[in-house]
């Protein structure tokens, strides 16, 4: 078969080990998955209740316009109904953007390391990928981005806060950057973790959309809303941008249950607020722990931390796995010497830090 040349060297997405697999492999009683930045508190109890009573007509296609969810979400955001596009997770929106804008005659600019799906999709499209190394503190090098742009640049990807470092770009720096990007380039601000941000001075980027019609925001119900299994993400942007992306979208890309559940989840802002606070408390514990052990930890505004390990990242991940914690090795994320850990509940964090202590004592504790 004549496969696209671009597929050479691309590896399919390899999911991490499941809880069941690790439980079996190591004969453990309890395994905690802290590898995919899911919400340790689940979703709002009101959402779970509504699931039992949701009147879904199984034989009817979903609402391809997501009318009910669209109406509630756009009212909450204070934007036009035509300013939103729904995707099967924000993953699908990344694919839609790529399909609509990237090809062999274009280039695309992104940080490294960052969320790998931008490069993955761009590779398949045959676009040139221009990666701008993060600064030592994990911040995006926005000057470097501006230097990397030329007349063939079609899309810029900014993961804010960034996965895997967790850093948030200060709002003034972001706004100044947006003002310097040529208006014919689409700037994607991927805000998958935005609900977790506590940084003082953070300005909601929805407010930038009027001033910068070439900016699009990606958000998701997978993280703070605790609905990763339903695959609902969305983009907010100028109606003209959304309209072009809509040409590429499959007609029924979200299923009926996902749409109904996401709509219900929007009613429970108190749950999100509570998760944000609980997450912040546990995030502070990681920071304190890292400081105490003199291990580097990037400033995170998300529900995960990238923390230095006293040995090789794969080795550290394996040792934590043996103790019942699934984390992501930095070797797979472009951050060797670190692991990425999803911030769990208070109890999970206490147990995790104990497991990390064992690792630290056996590998790295200075005498
Ligand atoms: C930065 C970022 N963007 C997008 C996604 C995709 O999220 P989803 O497709 O579940 O909405 C993730 C998932 O981990 C992520 O970390």
Sign, CA dihedral 242-247-249-251, equals: positive
Answer yes or no: do 114 and 14 share one domain.
no
**Which is the closest atom of ligand 1 to the Cα of 94?**
4
Answer yes or no: do 250 and 330 share one domain.
no
Structure tokens belonging to residue 98: 């790529």
CA of 277: how far to CAs of 37, 172, 281, 284, in Å? Answer: 16, 25, 6, 11
Answer yes or no: do 75 and 176 share one domain.
yes
Answer yes or no: do 211 and 330 share one domain.
no
Which of 343, 78, 93 shows the shortest CA–CA distance to 242?
93
**Which of 219, 239, 265 is where one domain is finished?**
265
The Cα–Cα gap between 316 and 312 comes to 6
Answer yes or no: do 226 and 319 share one domain.
no
102 Cβ below 6 A of ligand 1? no
Closest CA to ligand 1's atom 3: 192
Q: Ligand 1 test: best mutation among 140, 196, 220, most atoms within 8 Å of CB? A: 220
Answer yes or no: do 26 and 59 share one domain.
no
Please check whether residue 161 is in contact with residue 300, taking contact to mean a CB–CB distance below 8 angstroms. Answer: yes
The Cα–Cα gap between 216 and 296 comes to 33
Please check whether residue 262 is in contact with residue 223, taking contact to mean a CB–CB distance below 8 angstroms. Answer: no
Closest CA to ligand 1's atom 12: 192
CATH code of the domain containing 278: 3.90.1150.10
What 3-state DSSP class applies to 227?
A: coil
Answer yes or no: do 247 and 341 share one domain.
no
In tens digits, the chain (367 residues) has pLDDT values of 999 999 998 988 888 889 999 999 999 999 999 999 999 999 999 998 888 777 788 899 999 999 999 999 999 999 999 999 999 999 999 999 999 999 999 999 999 999 999 999 999 999 999 999 999 999 999 999 999 999 999 999 999 999 999 999 999 999 999 999 999 999 999 999 999 999 999 999 999 999 999 999 999 999 999 999 999 999 999 999 999 999 999 999 999 999 999 999 999 999 999 999 999 999 999 999 999 999 999 999 999 999 999 999 999 999 999 999 999 999 999 999 999 999 999 999 999 999 999 998 887 665 4
Note if the bond before 87 is cis, omega within 30 degrees.
Answer: no
**Which of 217, 244, 265 is where one domain is finished?**
265
Structure tokens belonging to residue 62: 């979903």
Helix (H) or strand (E) holding 177: helix 171-180
Domain count, the chain: 2
State residue 317 phi and psi, 5-degree precision. -60, -40
**Which is the closest atom of ligand 1 to the Cα of 88?**
9
Strand pairing class (32-33; 325-326): parallel
Answer yes or no: do 233 and 344 share one domain.
no
Answer yes or no: do 76 and 36 share one domain.
no
What is the total residue count of the chain? 367
- Compute the distance from residue 186 Cα to the ligand 1 centre, in Å: 19
308 Cβ below 6 A of ligand 1? no
37 Cβ below 6 A of ligand 1? yes
CA of 72: how far to CAs of 27, 235, 262, 263, in Å? Answer: 46, 15, 10, 7
Answer yes or no: do 235 and 300 share one domain.
no
**Which is the closest atom of ligand 1 to the Cα of 220?**
11
CATH code of the domain containing 105: 3.40.640.10
Which of 270, 280, 335, 334 shows the shortest CA–CA distance to 309?
335
Domain that holds residue 358: 5-43+270-363
- Compute the distance from residue 163 Cα to the ligand 1 centre, in Å: 9
Q: Ligand 1 test: best mutation among 89, 111, 169, 228, most atoms within 8 Å of CB? A: 89
């Amino acid at each position: 078969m004549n496969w696209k040349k671009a597929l050479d060297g691309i590896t399919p997405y390899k999911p991490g080990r499941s809880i069941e697999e690790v439980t079996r492999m190591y004969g453990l009683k309890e395994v905690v998955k802290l590898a995919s930045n899911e919400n340790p508190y689940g979703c709002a109890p009101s959402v779970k209740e509504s699931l039992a009573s949701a009147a879904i007509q199984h034989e009817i296609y979903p609402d391809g316009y997501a009318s009910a969810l669209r109406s509630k979400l756009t009212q909450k955001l204070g934007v036009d109904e035509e300013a939103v596009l729904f995707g099967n997770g924000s993953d699908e929106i990344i694919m839609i953007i790529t399909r609509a804008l990237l090809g062999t005659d274009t280039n695309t600019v992104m940080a490294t390391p960052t969320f790998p799906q931008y490069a993955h999709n761009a590779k398949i499209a045959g676009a040139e990928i221009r990666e701008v190394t993060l600064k030592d503190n994990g911040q995006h090098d926005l000057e470097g981005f501006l230097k990397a742009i030329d007349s063939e640049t079609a899309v810029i990807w900014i993961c804010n806060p960034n996965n895997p470092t967790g850093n948030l770009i200060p709002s003034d720096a972001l706004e100044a950057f947006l003002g310097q990007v040529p208006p014919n380039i689409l700037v994607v601000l991927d805000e998958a973790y935005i609900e977790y941000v506590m940084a003082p001075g953070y300005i909601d980027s929805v407010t930038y959309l009027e001033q910068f019609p070439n900016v699009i925001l990606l958000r998701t119900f997978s993280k703070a809303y605790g609905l990763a299994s339903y695959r609902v993400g969305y983009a907010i942007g100028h109606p003209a941008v959304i309209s072009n992306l809509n040409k590429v979208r499959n007609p029924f890309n979200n299923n009926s249950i996902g749409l109904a559940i996401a709509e219900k989840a929007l009613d429970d802002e108190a749950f999100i607020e509570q998760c944000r606070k609980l997450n912040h408390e546990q995030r502070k514990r990681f920071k304190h722990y890292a400081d105490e052990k003199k291990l580097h930890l990037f400033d995170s505004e998300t529900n995960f931390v990238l923390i230095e390990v006293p040995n090789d990242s794969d080795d550290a991940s394996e040792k934590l796995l043996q103790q019942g914690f699934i984390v992501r090795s930095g070797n797979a994320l472009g951050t060797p010497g670190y692991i990425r850990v999803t911030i769990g509940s208070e109890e999970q964090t206490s147990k995790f830090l104990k497991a990390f202590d064992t690792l630290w004592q056996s590998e790295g504790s200075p005498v």
